[in-house]
Structure 1
Amino acid sequence: MCKKVLGKTRKSTSNQPSFAQPNILARDQHPVSRKHISQNALKVLYRLNKGGFDAYLVGGGVRDILLGLTPKDFDIATNATPEQIKALFRNCRLIGRRFRLAHIIFGREIIEVATFRGHHDSDNAQQSNQKISKQSEDGMLLRDNIYGSIEEDAERRDFTINALYYSAKDFKVYDFANGVADVYAKQIRLIGDPETRYREDPVRMLRAIRFATKLDMSIHQDTKAPIKSLAPLMANIPPARLFEEFLKLFMSGKASENFHLLREYRLFQYFFPAVELQLEQQTQPYLADFIHLALKNTDLRILHEQRVTPAFLFAAMLWYPLQAQIQAAHSAEKLSPQDAFFSALSVIMSEQQQSIAIPKRFQAVMKDIWILQDKLSRRDGKRAFKTLEHPKFRAGYDFLLLRAEIETSKRDNTANTELQALATWWGEFQDSDSETQQRLVKSVVSSKNGPRRSTRKRRKPRIKNTSNNA
């Protein structure tokens, strides 16, 4: 447990804090210490300070330490421009068009350094040679490289709990938006007018949900009020960015909670429109339970630090929409099962790519998992042994287990005994020695053919001579 702030928390007389007068917490008034901060992040802070620049650990790193958590990332804000940062660090690369950032690379650890953001209409922006920010008709920021002061930077941040700055020079925490109070109140609150901030960047709606589940916090009423009405703004988010947001929401151990909140706030449809349509129409009786089980299992694997892949969740999300498309292709075009599968696959993936840009390496795994569902049902001869050697056998088998669990115990309590028996058979087959595996394969052939009939030919009956010839 972290200790609570000992200093007095500045109270705001209005809905929004005064950014010109931050609440400054001295070293003995907060639990943030250099021992909680990455050595590489400290190196960056020290070098920027030594170079004559102001530099602060900012956002999640400070917030998590206040909560008694171990930060995963350490972001830094400074008044140095990206070019000045690059001049100080040989291991630096500049990235981003919309937001120009510096990445300082220390092996596998990357310290992200951002220049203080300014307001679009500030004197600094108008007098400098910086590129003027660009907005869409909906108010979304398309380019934003306006630099400013630390006060402006704090005001430009999304949530109060992220407008916290720690200085390695004086060991103080600078709280510009009453963020410390919201940290301890466990409250997600936007800085500024919520509608304006969501229009600037609709992904903030996703971030509000993600922070709420990640930190076990609630979303402030003013912050959540406009989300449902502004949800259509998500249609403007590029598919590549939605893929990154999918990873953050569904591959961090809170997938099940995030799924329910995304649906509650009408945001899920912008990730998986075909899935949301079937959930709304309830055309697939197993879909909701299947997705819930897949998400729950993924969360458990992450909790136990087991390997997970986004491809498995993508395959689970789209399995029943794929089945519906296969049936439609088979009925309308009279295609063979194999041709119907590939026709449906093309349709489903083409539609899905318009929402989330799924990389090809994950598409290949999804296809393998789906194809394996058919291969797992064909066990005669050498087929079972070839399927067991498939590189994605385990993913396909785990997928089969989920299907069997859902489809054998839901709705009207009638069991799909064939699917359950198939899952049980493969569970035994993969853990058996070769002799037992041969016996299991023979049992499949026997059950298909039924009892063996005798192949011995019957003798023709002798015909008695009934003629009256003497």
Structure 2
Amino acid sequence: MLKKLFQSFRTPVRRVQHLRTTPEVLNSGQHSLQRNQFSRHAVSIVERLQNAGYQAYLVGGCVRDMLLNITPKDFDVATSATPEQVRAEFRNARVIGRRFKLVHIHFGREIIEVATFRANHPQDEEEEDSNQSSRNESGRILRDNVYGTLEEDAQRRDFTINALYYDPVSERILDYANGVHDIRNRLIRLIGDPVQRYQEDPVRMLRAVRFAAKLDFGIEKHTAAPIRELAPMLREIPSARLFEESLKLFLSGNAADTFEMLVDLQLFDPLFPASTEALEHSPTYTHTLISEALKNTDLRVKQGKPVTPAFLFAALLWPALPARVLRLQERGMPPIPAMQEGAHELIAEQCQRIAIPKRFTIPIREIWDMQERLPRRSGKRADLLLDNPRFRAGYDFLLLRESAGEQTDGLGEWWTDYQDANDSERRDMIRDLGSKDEAGTGPRKRKRTGAKRKRNAAADSGE
């Protein structure tokens, strides 16, 4: 996969992508798009804005995906009208955002996002209107409300494949950046100088990976070249924004490939520093556990099953936890308190990078806590654990650990058997544990069929 992503293509590659001042125009006979493929609400917005005297187009991901025969999730509109002018045309419109002001037009459950054409930001801070746009010292754009022309809007878009404008009235595509060419060659290419574009918004490095994984495209070599050196710039991005980006990276059905690319391009470190350290100290176990979790997550997404970020982050962070717990135990702390304290420290540190909301950090800790409780099955403990609302997630996580090669003395198999057993068999299983229970060592195995063992150690219990 990685070899494919960074391979050299036979087609000539330009080092810097220069946009045309006039676009390549593809008429209806030169492309596969038809207006009835797009959201009728989005098309009606374009028509209404054009009738009001504004320029308006369907733009970006919906055009790109339609050309690739992918059903778009969203339909976005770009227009020469300002947010206030758009709102004046539509009673069902709301202006949102500060850093990037947009209009959301509501049609029941469907929301069409309308953005005003943007211009590039002046490099000289003294030339900027500080009420509209500003950069920090490293060149990152802090606010992006400098409006411009259609040509300028195309120039400031991130990738060539996202700089395509479709007019559903004339059924023409306007291509300012050879985006159709790059779609045909399955290539992710930044518009403009890669270093400058990443400095403007380091999240573009994550977007390059996400699009490459989602579309099964290669990353053009000059687009990929600066990423490793500039990856630390992600530490400047607000942790709340990185939480949203991490969900896009890992919950879109391509998490396993995304993880491989993030590690290869050194983008995983600024997102998950403790897990990166675990990758260095125990590479095989850490890589296997995270990869298995992400493969299972991808499978659930493809099957339309629910996925919760809690299980995902529990798996991404788990390999960094045992060493912390061990250090606390060596200081004399009992196992369960050591697990709780180590989990608290690790999650607090991680939230400095990615602001995981409390509604997810609490179940993360509960899943981890179950790993310390599952070996303790004597008396009524097993039945109490079975009734715990986090049991299924904890059990799935135990099977995930075992699939990564962690030795648990048959604990996962024991719990699989216990769930399938009747009351009498369960009493026998508890009695068989004997004095070995508290240590969590291997009980006698009950005869069972191989099919039962093949339960899905899904990367999410669906709770």
Give the TM-score category using the shorter length: 0.7 to 0.9
Alpha-carbon distance between aligned partners in 2 of 1:447 and 1:284, rounded to the nearest angstrom: 31
With 318-327 and 337-346 compared, the bigger mean Cα shift is at 337-346
Q: Kindly tell me: are residues 271 and 15 of structure 1, through their superposed partners in 2, closer, same or farther at Cα, counting changes over 3 Å?
A: closer
Partner SS for 2:353? coil
- What is the one-letter code of the residue matched to 1:366? I
Alpha-carbon distance between aligned partners in 2 of 1:14 and 1:214, rounded to the nearest angstrom: 24
Kept in 2, the 8 Å contact 1:190–1:223? The answer is yes
Give the Å deviation of 1:342.
2.3
Aligned to 1:423: 412
Alpha-carbon distance between aligned partners in 2 of 1:174 and 1:34, rounded to the nearest angstrom: 15
Give the Å deviation of 1:431.
3.2
Structure 2: give runs of 5+ residues left out of the alignment. Answer: 1-11, 444-463
The C-alpha deviation readout for 1:132-161, integer Å capped at 9, x for no partner, is 310011000001100011110000101111
Kept in 2, the 8 Å contact 1:73–1:111? The answer is yes
Aligned to 2:9: none
Aligned length: 427
Aligned to 2:95: 94
Aligned to 1:365: 363
The C-alpha deviation readout for 1:237-277, integer Å capped at 9, x for no partner, is 11111111111111111111111111111110111101111
Alpha-carbon distance between aligned partners in 2 of 1:285 and 1:175, rounded to the nearest angstrom: 45
Aligned to 2:297: 298
Give the Å deviation of 1:284.
6.8
Q: Percent identity?
A: 50
Give the Å deviation of 1:446.
8.0
Partner SS for 1:286? helix
Pairs within 5 Å for 1:32-43: 32-43=33-44
Aligned to 1:380: 378
Aligned to 2:139: 139
Alpha-carbon distance between aligned partners in 2 of 1:316 and 1:290, rounded to the nearest angstrom: 7
Give the Å deviation of 1:108.
3.1
Aligned to 2:450: none
Aligned to 1:6: none
Give the Å deviation of 1:73.
1.4
Aligned to 2:451: none
Alpha-carbon distance between aligned partners in 1 of 2:14 and 2:391, rounded to the nearest angstrom: 62
Aligned to 1:356: 354
- What is the one-letter code of the residue matched to 2:298? D
Kept in 1, the 8 Å contact 2:105–2:112? The answer is yes
Say which structure, 1 or 2, has more relative contact order (CA 8 Å, 6+ apart).
2
With 436-445 and 84-93 compared, the bigger mean Cα shift is at 436-445
The C-alpha deviation readout for 1:61-100, integer Å capped at 9, x for no partner, is 1111111211111111011111122222233222221111
Q: Kindly tell me: are residues 380 and 96 of structure 1, through their superposed partners in 2, closer, same or farther at Cα, counting changes over 3 Å?
A: same
Pairs within 5 Å for 1:319-334: 319-332=318-331, 334=332
Q: Kindly tell me: are residues 284 and 61 of structure 1, through their superposed partners in 2, closer, same or farther at Cα, counting changes over 3 Å?
A: closer
- What is the one-letter code of the residue matched to 1:57? L
The C-alpha deviation readout for 1:24-46, integer Å capped at 9, x for no partner, is 11111111112221223223223
Pairs within 5 Å for 1:406-445: 406-407=404-405, 416=407, 419=408, 421-445=410-434
- What is the one-letter code of the residue matched to 1:426? W
Alpha-carbon distance between aligned partners in 2 of 1:12 and 1:363, rounded to the nearest angstrom: 45
RMSD across aligned C-alpha pairs, in angstroms? 2.6
- What is the one-letter code of the residue matched to 1:365? P
Kept in 2, the 8 Å contact 1:24–1:175? The answer is yes
- What is the one-letter code of the residue matched to 1:230? L
Kept in 2, the 8 Å contact 1:130–1:145? The answer is no
With 33-42 and 160-169 compared, the bigger mean Cα shift is at 33-42
Q: Kindly tell me: are residues 18 and 348 of structure 1, through their superposed partners in 2, closer, same or farther at Cα, counting changes over 3 Å?
A: closer
Alpha-carbon distance between aligned partners in 2 of 1:154 and 1:132, rounded to the nearest angstrom: 19
Aligned to 2:86: 85
Kept in 1, the 8 Å contact 2:339–2:372? The answer is no
Aligned to 1:307: 306
Give the Å deviation of 1:51.
3.0
Give the Å deviation of 1:13.
9.8
- The alignment status of 1:402 with 2:400, answered yes or no, reads yes
- The alignment status of 1:113 with 2:114, answered yes or no, reads yes
Aligned to 1:54: 55
Aligned to 2:158: 158
Give the Å deviation of 1:198.
0.6
Partner SS for 1:56? strand
- The alignment status of 1:168 with 2:142, answered yes or no, reads no
Question: TM-score w.r.t. structure 1 length?
Answer: 0.85
Structure 1: give runs of 5+ residues left out of the alignment. Answer: 1-10, 409-415, 452-470
With 234-243 and 13-22 compared, the bigger mean Cα shift is at 13-22
Aligned to 1:76: 77
With 173-182 and 335-344 compared, the bigger mean Cα shift is at 335-344
Kept in 2, the 8 Å contact 1:187–1:219? The answer is yes
Alpha-carbon distance between aligned partners in 2 of 1:98 and 1:387, rounded to the nearest angstrom: 47
With 423-432 and 361-370 compared, the bigger mean Cα shift is at 423-432
Pairs within 5 Å for 1:209-358: 209-280=209-280, 282-283=281-282, 286-332=285-331, 334-358=332-356
Alpha-carbon distance between aligned partners in 2 of 1:300 and 1:18, rounded to the nearest angstrom: 39
Aligned to 1:413: none
The C-alpha deviation readout for 1:105-155, integer Å capped at 9, x for no partner, is 233322111100013349xxx89x893310011000001100011110000
Question: TM-score w.r.t. structure 2 length?
Answer: 0.86
Aligned to 1:411: none
